[in-house]
Structure 1
Amino acid sequence: MSRFIRNEKGVTLIELLAVLIIGSLIMSLIIGVVINSQRTYTSQTNAAEQLAEIRYAVKAITKEVRKAERIKVEENKLTIDHDTRLVIQRQNGEVRQNNSVLATHIGALKFAVDGRLLSISIATEETNGKKQETKAEIYLRDGVSVEK
């Protein structure tokens, strides 16, 4: 009988448990890396989308300012007069041009004028400890009247 047991091939319970534990550790490490990669991807995608929205808002504001005949600059509000009157301001975390939304999740919007130079500063709301800010300067053409 002892000869029969010595020749029997198989896996013991201890060996099976050891393989399961090692496999579980490896799988938990792999899952941790995948989850961390997904969080990073999501964070970077959101940041890129916010930056794209800010660039769009600055581009739209620049386009309207270049057509302006008269502008009125306040710290958080810009009024542009040409064919129609446009009011650009931050309301409830959005940059609005009259009733149209140009960008969302905006933490700050500031306008300043120095002679013929209009400065625009737009900053996103802080997400994950990060805030993105874009600044633009627009030289006003001759003939545009500026009110402060």
Structure 2
Amino acid sequence: MRKHLNNGKGITLVELLAAIVLASIVMLIVYSVLMSGTKQYKSQLEKNNQLTDISYALKMITKDIRKTEDPQIINNSKIELNGINYSLDGNTINRNGVVIASSIKRFHVTSENNKWIIEIESSNGVGVEKTEKTEVYLRKGDE
């Protein structure tokens, strides 16, 4: 009987089960590393998209403010710039009714002397919040 076990013509059930268990452990480790990388990528992409939206909105607003001779703050979340209106509508910032930024939690505009402070806070719904703030100094051509 000992001759029959040592002839090396096959594998035993125990060897097969050990190989399957080891392969399963390796596959679980590889899978968890891949899933972690994918989750991190999606998180970073969402943060980047939020910052891009906020930056784009701030650049548009700033550009239009500088072109306008008499900008007006209607209320803390609505401004009028020579026929161009920016407002917070739900969770979007609109420019004359066209959405320029989404997932916005707060759009706040205040005025101090010849300076406007514009603050935009965005939230993606899963706890990731980004806030950007800019100050625009109003220029008077006659002064």
TM-score between the two structures when normalised by the length of structure 1: 0.88
Pick closer, same or farther for the CA change 1:21–1:89 going to 2, 3 Å: same
Aligned letter for 2:103? H
Partner of 2:12: 12
Partner of 1:68: 68
Q: Point out 4+ residue stretches in structure 1 off by more than 3 angstroms.
A: none
| SS of corresponding position for 1:123 | strand
Q: 1:63-142 counterparts in 2 under 5 A? A: 63-73=63-73, 74-81=75-82, 85-142=83-140
Runs (5+) with no aligned partner, structure 2: none
| SS of corresponding position for 2:52 | helix
Q: CA deviation at 1:70?
A: 1.1
Does 12-21 or 125-134 show the bigger shift?
Answer: 125-134
- Equivalenced residue count is 140
Q: CA deviation at 1:127?
A: 3.5
Aligned letter for 1:5? H
Q: In the TM superposition, what whole-angstrom CA distance separates every residue of 1:29-62 from its partner, at most 9, and x where no partner exists?
A: 1101111110110111011011111111000001
| SS of corresponding position for 1:79 | strand
Q: In the TM superposition, what whole-angstrom CA distance separates every residue of 1:71-104 from its partner, at most 9, and x where no partner exists?
A: 22121111112xxx11101102111011121111
Partner of 1:26: 26
Identity of matched residues, %: 29
